[in-house]
């Protein structure tokens, strides 16, 4: 079946590639011709400059010109398509609401194209990227206003986590399709024949509004787990003597009703989705006249978590950051990505510079170019000149007065010997991911240790 994918970012490109793997004829379009050129080249390095996901470039190269086609002209992509997926970016506005201007522009363009079709065949336009509850209805209005004949609307949200887009699309937990009638449900079943009557994959058909709400409630609940563990579990283990974080987690999550996901306490969850989606849901419920205390608390706890270890260092360890050198280990919002959107490291840098640090020595296995060029560009803020970039964790920690571990990169698990050989006591280790093992040796060697989810160990203490 011919399928059009409108928008080829993190949502659209993996989706197009995996649909093509199923043998559909997939036409993906984008308003950015440079992207389209890169994808058409089939070269991994060029594709990965735009979307870097394991297995994605190989999948694109494999299907290019056979099942997968790219165009910068929406007319070409949409011609003869039975299903058009909207994979357009929906960034947040300042007030938390969703900026639908890019989405609207693309929807209006598509509506004009569909209105000009003369083949009489039914086409369904499907929202794939996260859009506020009610956007399928908005789309319906846009299509109707343009006079597009025989068109349906649907919602089929994307649930992918970064770093797992291709595998996640090939083997999702669930496929949620919200549509208005049998004709459109049937078109979507033909898009996803491999997920019908599957033993493990839940294929759910519902209303467009319910499908849109499932995406928001799912993401908000995931952040609620994280904020619960950071705001309650970690605080207990930090402040009530004798409580061990890992055992607390194991004991509680052994209950089959309780998720283990989210129980990994941290210096706050980042990424492009959680913060944006919960703020949008708060806005949507607020507009509906509903109270949003719980959601606001979940959001606030997560935001506070991103700078709270620095506050703890001041209050519990008496560490004055003014004129000190801090090694910042990890810039990305999670391991295995160079993405820094909403990353805890952004807040840490802001906080550290605000406290007058002399230097920040940064290291991240993947995100240093991203940091230099986009987030900490000294042309935007001259204080960013205080950040230097280093090729390894040991390089970064040389001469540091404090070491702040911000991302859960696997390589940070083995830091103890490196700290012992490359940092000098009484350097304070601030562990935002509970990565450091053998903290007794560190304390015995004269280092201070301050972890999320545990009490402060001053230099010289036994754990």
Site residues (CB under 6 A) for ligand UDX? 159-162, 219, 222, 226, 261-264, 266, 269-271, 273-274, 333-334, 408
- The smaller minimum CB distance to ligand UDX, of residues 25 and 167, is found at 167
Element (H, E) at 205: strand 202-206
* Calpha distance 303→283 (Å, rounded): 17
Between 116 and 204, name the residue whose CB sits nearer to ligand UDX: 204
CB 417 within 8 A of CB 437: no
Comparing CB distances to ligand UDX, the nearer of 179 and 346 is: 346
Q: In the complex, what is the shortest distance from the CB of residue 383 to ligand UDX, in angstroms, rounded to a whole number?
A: 25
Measured distance CA(379)–CA(263) in Å, rounded: 39
Beta carbons within 10 angstroms of residue 81's beta carbon: 25
> How many other CB atoms are there within 10 angstroms of residue 178's CB atom?
26
Contacts for 331 with CB less than 8 Å, ≥ 6 apart: 340, 343, 345, 362, 364, 367, 368, 370, 371, 375, 406, 407
The catalytic position among 84, 87, 273, 427 is 273
Q: What is the largest CA-CA distance in the chain?
A: 80
Q: Are strands 325-329 and 359-363 parallel, antiparallel or unpaired?
A: parallel
Nearer to ligand UDX, 306 or 390 (CB): 306
Look up residue 238 and give its two tokens.
């930090």
Query: In the bound complex, what is the minimum distance in angstroms from residue 218's beta carbon to ligand UDX?
Result: 7
Nearest in space to 411 (alpha carbons), one of 434, 435, 430: 435
Minimum distance from CB of 353 to ligand UDX (Å)?
22
- Quick one: DSSP state of residue 454? S
Q: Are 126 and 84 in contact (CB under 8 A)?
A: yes
End-to-end CA gap in the chain = 63
The minimum distance between CB 81 and ligand UDX, in angstroms, equals: 25
Among residues 229, 212, 336, 346, the alpha carbon closest in space to that of 277 is found at 212
CA 80 – CA 123 distance, rounded (Å): 9
Strand segments, DSSP code E, in 376-423 are 387-389, 402-405
CB of 112 to ligand UDX, least distance (A): 31
The nearer residue to ligand UDX, 169 or 416, going by C-beta atoms, is: 169
Distance of CA 391 to the CA centre of its chain: 25
Rounded distance, CA 44 to CA 58, Å? 7
What are residue 404's DSSP bridge partners?
328, 430
The verdict on whether 84 is a catalytic residue reads no
- In whole angstroms, the minimum distance from the beta carbon of 233 to ligand UDX comes to 11
Q: Could you tell me which of 27, 53, 50, 21 has the C-alpha nearest to residue 38? A: 50
| Residue 192, helix vs strand vs coil | coil
Decide the pairing of beta strands 174-179 and 151-155.
antiparallel
At 203, which helix (H) or strand (E)?
Answer: strand 202-206
Neighbour-count burial of 242, counting CB atoms closer than 10 A to its CB (0-12 exposed, 13-18 middle, 19+ buried)? exposed
- Shortest distance (Å) from residue 36 CB to ligand UDX: 25
Closest approach of Cβ 261 to ligand UDX, in Å? 6
| Comparison of 273 and 348: residue with beta carbon closer to ligand UDX | 273
* Strand partners for 206: 178
Nearer to ligand UDX, 98 or 219 (CB): 219
Considering the complex, state which of residue 16 and residue 269 has its C-beta at the smaller distance from ligand UDX.
269
Q: Which is nearer to ligand UDX, 226 or 360 (CB)?
A: 226
Q: How far is the CB of 49 from ligand UDX (least distance, A)?
A: 19
Distance separating alpha carbons of residues 264 and 226, to the nearest angstrom: 7
Residues marked as catalytic: 273
């Amino acid at each position: 079946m011919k399928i059009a994918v409108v928008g080829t970012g993190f949502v659209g490109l993996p989706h197009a590639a995996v649909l093509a793997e199923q043998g559909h004829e997939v036409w993906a379009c984008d308003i950015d011709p440079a992207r389209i050129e890169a994808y058409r080249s089939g070269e991994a390095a060029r594709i990965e400059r735009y979307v870097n996901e394991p297995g994605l470039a190989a999948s694109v190269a494999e299907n290019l010109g056979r099942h997968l086609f790219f165009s910068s002209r929406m007319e070409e992509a949409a011609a003869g398509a039975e299903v058009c997926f909207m994979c357009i970016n929906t960034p947040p506005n300042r007030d938390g609401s969703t900026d639908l201007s890019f989405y609207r522009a693309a929807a209006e363009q598509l509506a004009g194209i569909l209105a000009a079709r003369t083949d009489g065949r039914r086409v369904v336009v499907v929202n794939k990227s996260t859009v506020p509850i009610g956007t399928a209805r908005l789309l319906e209005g846009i299509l109707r206003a343009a006079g597009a004949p025989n068109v349906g609307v649907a919602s089929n949200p994307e649930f992918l986590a970064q770093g797992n887009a291709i595998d996640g699309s090939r083997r999702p937990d669930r496929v949620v399709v919200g549509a208005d009638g049998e004709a459109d449900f049937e078109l979507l079943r033909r898009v996803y024949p491999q997920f019908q009557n599957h033993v493990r994959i839940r294929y759910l058909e519902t209303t467009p509004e319910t499908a849109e709400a499932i995406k928001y409630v799912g993401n908000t609940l995931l952040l609620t787990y994280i904020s619960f563990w950071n705001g309650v579990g970690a605080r207990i283990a930090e402040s009530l003597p004798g409580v061990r974080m890992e055992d607390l987690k194991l004991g509680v999550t052994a209950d089959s009703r309780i998720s283990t996901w989210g129980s990994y306490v941290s210096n706050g969850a980042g990424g492009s989705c959680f913060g944006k989606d919960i703020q949008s849901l708060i806005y949507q419920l607020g507009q509906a006249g509903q109270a949003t205390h719980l959601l606001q608390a979940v959001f606030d706890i997560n935001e506070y978590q991103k700078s709270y270890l620095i506050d703890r260092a001041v209050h519990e360890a008496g560490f004055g950051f003014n004129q000190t050198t801090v090694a910042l280990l990890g810039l990305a919002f999670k391991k295995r990505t160079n993405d820094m959107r909403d990353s805890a490291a952004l807040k840490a840098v802001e906080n550290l510079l605000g406290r007058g640090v002399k230097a920040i020595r940064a290291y991240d296995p993947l995100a240093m170019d991203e940091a230099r060029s986009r987030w900490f560009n000294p042309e935007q803020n001259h204080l960013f000149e205080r950040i230097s970039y280093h090729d390894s964790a040991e390089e970064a920690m040389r001469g540091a007065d404090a070491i702040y571990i911000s991302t859960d990169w696997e390589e940070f698990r083995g830091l103890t010997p490196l700290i012992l050989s490359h940092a000098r006591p009484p350097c304070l280790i601030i562990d935002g991911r509970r990565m450091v093992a053998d903290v007794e040796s560190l304390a015995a060697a004269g280092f201070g240790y301050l972890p999320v989810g545990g009490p402060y160990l001053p230099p010289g203490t036994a754990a």
